[in-house]
Structure 1
Amino acid sequence: MELILEIVYINLLSPLILFFIIGIIATLVNSDLKVPEAFYTGYTMIILFTIGIQGGTKLKHASLGNMFTVGLAALFLSFLMLVIAYLLIKKVVKFDTPNSLALAAHYGSVSAVTFVAGLSFLDKMEIPYEDFMPAILVIMEGPAIITAIILYKYFTQKTGAESSASMVEVVKEAFFGKSIFLLIGGIFIGLVAHEDGLLMIKPLFGDLFYGVLSIFLLHMGMIATQRIRDLKGLKWYSFAYVFILPIIGGFIGILVGNFIGLSLGGTFILGVLTASSSYIAAPAAIEHSIPEANSGIYVGSSLGLTLPFNLIFGIPIYFWFSSLLVG
C-alpha cells in the first residue's frame, strides 16, 4: 500500500496531471476560461501526428516478429474488453442494448491521451518500453467499435441496401476517422521520411509536444467535469462500471503482457491501453451508427469519469501491478 501511495504521489506531481486538475477546478468554480474550437482541433492534430511520427521512427528498428505477437494479443484484449463491458453493462447495470453496445465500443477501444500519459510516466521513472507500442495503439482503436456496431445491426435486424451502405460508412469512420487516420499518417511519415526532414519538423512535432498536450489536458479537465454535470437522473451506482472496467482491463492487459514476454514498460503500457476507453474515435462512429444510444452516457462515462480515474489513480495502480509481476 505504501508503494502505491508513493507512486500516486509522484503521478499527481506530473505537470500533465496538474493541468488536468486545473481544468477540473476551472469548471467547478465557473471560471470564464475557454479554449477556442479551432485551437482544440489544431492541437489534437499535433498530438496525434506526433504520437504517430515518434512511433514510426522507432518502428524502423523494431522487431516485426515480436510486434506481430503483441498485435495479436492486442486484438484479443480489444475484443475481450468489448465482451466484458457489454455483459457487465447489459446484465448487471441493466442498460438497454443500444447503450450497452455503445459503451462496450468505447471500453473495447483505447485512448491516445491515456497512452501518452502512461509513456510520460515511464519517461519520468526512466523505464524503457518496446518501440512498437504506438502501433499497438492504432491496432486497438478500431476493431471493438466496428464489432459493436455490427452487433447492433444484427440485434436490431437492419438488413438490405441501406444497412450495407451504412456499414461502409461505419468502417470508414472507425478505421479512417480523424484520430486513426492521423496516427497512421504519422507512423507512415516516421517510417519513410529522411532523418534530416524529421529534424526540420521536430520543433513542432516533438519539442512542443508536452506543452501542447498540457493545454489539451487542461481542456479535457474542463470538458470532463461538464460531462459529469450533464449526467442527471441516473443513480450514482449505475456508473460503477467506469471504475470497474478500467481495473479489469488494466490487470488483464498486464497479465497478458507479462505472459507474452513484454518488458516492464511494455507490459505496463499494454495494461494502460486495455484499461483506457475511447472518447474521440468511438463517439464519432457511435453517434451516427447507434443513434438510440445516449451520448451523454457514453461520452460522460468515458471522458468524464474513466479518463480522470485512469490519469490520476489508474496509471499508478497499473504500474504497481506491473512491477509485482515483471519486477
Structure 2
Amino acid sequence: MLDPVVLFFLLGLVAGLLRAELRLPAAIYDFLSVLLLLTIGLKGGVELAEVSAWQLLPQLLGVLLMGLVLPLLLFPLLRLFGRLKRADAASLAAHYGSVSVGTFAVAVAFLSHQNVAYESYMPVFVVMLEMPAILVGILLARGLSAQTRWCALGHELFCGKGIMLLLGGLLIGWACGREALQPVTPLFFDLYKGVLALFLLEMGLITASQMGMLRRHGLFLLAFGLLTPLVAALIGGQLAVLLGFSVGGTMLLATLAASASYIAVPAAMRMAVPEANPGLSLAASLGVTFPFNVLVGIPLYLQLAHWLHAQGG
C-alpha cells in the first residue's frame, strides 16, 4: 500500500507538469520547512540524550569519512564522462555528497509505515553530512584560494536556516529530554505526517519546474541522477553494516548517501563558486534524484538493507 505522503508528492508533480493553478504561498512553505527541520532535530536530540557519546564515536567518524569521500569519487567522473567545467563538476559533486532533509523525512515516515525500527539518533548524521561535501566541493573548484571568503562561507554553513534549525532542535531535544517536550508534542510530533505531506506537495511542484532545465542538458544528467543514488546507497548501506547499524538504520544511512542537497549546498556554492551553473545541480538533484528516491529508491534501499544484513549474517 502506498504511503499517502508519496501521493501528495505525485499530486504536486502532476499539477506542476500540467501547469495547474496550484501553489502554496511562500510563507506557508517556509513555515512547513521550519516545522519539519525542528521536528527532525527534536526527535534526534531526545534519543541522543539516552545514548553514550563514546558509543556513537565510531559511527560519527565513519559517516564523516563517507561525507568527504563521496564528492571526491564523483568529481573525476563528472569531469571525464560529463565533460563539465571544473566549477560545475565540483558543485554537482558537492550536491550529491551532501544530503536531502526532505528525502530523509520521507524515509523515516516509510520506516514507521512499515513498522521497522531504527536508531532514532539518525538526525545527528543529517546535520553532519550537510557540511563536509560543501568544503570538499569548494576545494575541488578553487583549491586553497585566498580569494575564497572563508569567514562568510563559515557563517553561511553554520548559520544557514537548515543547519541552524536542525542543530537547534537537536540541542533542545537533548537538553530537555522526552518528558519536558510533552507540551509541544501536539505541534511538532503529532502533526509531523501532515506537515510532511504538505511539504512534499510543494516539492512536487518545484520538481516539475526543473524539467525544462533537464531537457536542455540532455541524457547525461538523467543517467547521473539515476545511477549515482544507487551506487551511493550501496556504499552507505555497506558502511552502515560495518558500523553496526540495525536494518532500519542501514536503510536510513543508505538513503542519506543516495540523496542530494537542494537547500544548503546551492546557497553555499552560490557564495563560494558563483561561476558554477546552479541549474545543472538543481535539475539533477530535484528533477531526477529526489523524485526517484521518493517514488522508487526508498523501498529499494530497505530491501538492500535486508540483503546486506543477510549477507553479513
**TM class by smaller structure:** over 0.9
| 65-74 or 96-105, larger mean C-alpha shift | 65-74
Asked if structure 1 preserves the Cα contact closer than 8 Å seen for 2:221 and 2:284, the reply is no
| 196-205 or 182-191, larger mean C-alpha shift | 196-205
Separation in 1, partners of 2:121, 2:239: 16
| 1:55 aligned residue | 44
| 1:6 aligned residue | none
| 2:151 aligned residue | 168
In the alignment, residue 115 of structure 2 is paired with which amino acid? E
Identity rate, percent: 36
| 182-191 or 170-179, larger mean C-alpha shift | 170-179
Separation in 1, partners of 2:182, 2:306: 35
Residue 158 of structure 1 and its aligned partner are, at CA, apart by: 4.0
Separation in 2, partners of 1:238, 1:30: 24
Separation in 2, partners of 1:64, 1:221: 38
Please list the CA deviations of residues 201-245 of structure 1 after superposition, one character each: whole Å capped at 9, or x if unmatched. 111111111101110100000101111223343222343111111
In the alignment, residue 102 of structure 1 is paired with which amino acid? S
In the alignment, residue 245 of structure 2 is paired with which amino acid? L
| 232-241 or 211-220, larger mean C-alpha shift | 232-241
| 1:84 aligned residue | 73
Separation in 2, partners of 1:90, 1:176: 31
Q: In the alignment, which of 277, 294, 312 is matched to residue 294 of structure 1?
A: 277
Q: 1:66 to 1:243 in 2, by over 3 A?
A: farther
Separation in 1, partners of 2:183, 2:83: 54
Q: In the alignment, which of 21, 30, 33 is matched to residue 41 of structure 1?
A: 30
Q: In the alignment, which of 133, 144, 155 is matched to residue 144 of structure 1?
A: 133
Asked if structure 1 preserves the Cα contact closer than 8 Å seen for 2:43 and 2:121, the reply is no
Give secondary structure in 1 for the equivalent of 2:181: helix
Residue 195 of structure 1 and its aligned partner are, at CA, apart by: 4.5
Structure 2 counterparts to residues 1-327 of structure 1, below 5 A: 10=1, 13-154=2-143, 158-159=145-146, 163=147, 166-193=149-176, 195-327=178-310
Separation in 1, partners of 2:178, 2:214: 48
Asked if structure 2 preserves the Cα contact closer than 8 Å seen for 1:146 and 1:174, the reply is no
Give secondary structure in 2 for the equivalent of 1:240: helix
Cα-Cα RMSD: 1.5
Give secondary structure in 1 for the equivalent of 2:274: coil
Separation in 2, partners of 1:16, 1:87: 36
Residue 294 of structure 1 and its aligned partner are, at CA, apart by: 1.1
In the alignment, residue 23 of structure 2 is paired with which amino acid? K
Residue 176 of structure 1 and its aligned partner are, at CA, apart by: 2.4
Query: What TM-score, normalized by structure 2, do the two folds share?
Result: 0.95
In the alignment, residue 51 of structure 2 is paired with which amino acid? A
Q: 1:121 to 1:38 in 2, by over 3 A?
A: same
In the alignment, residue 251 of structure 1 is paired with which amino acid? L
Query: What TM-score, normalized by structure 1, do the two folds share?
Result: 0.91
Separation in 2, partners of 1:306, 1:77: 19
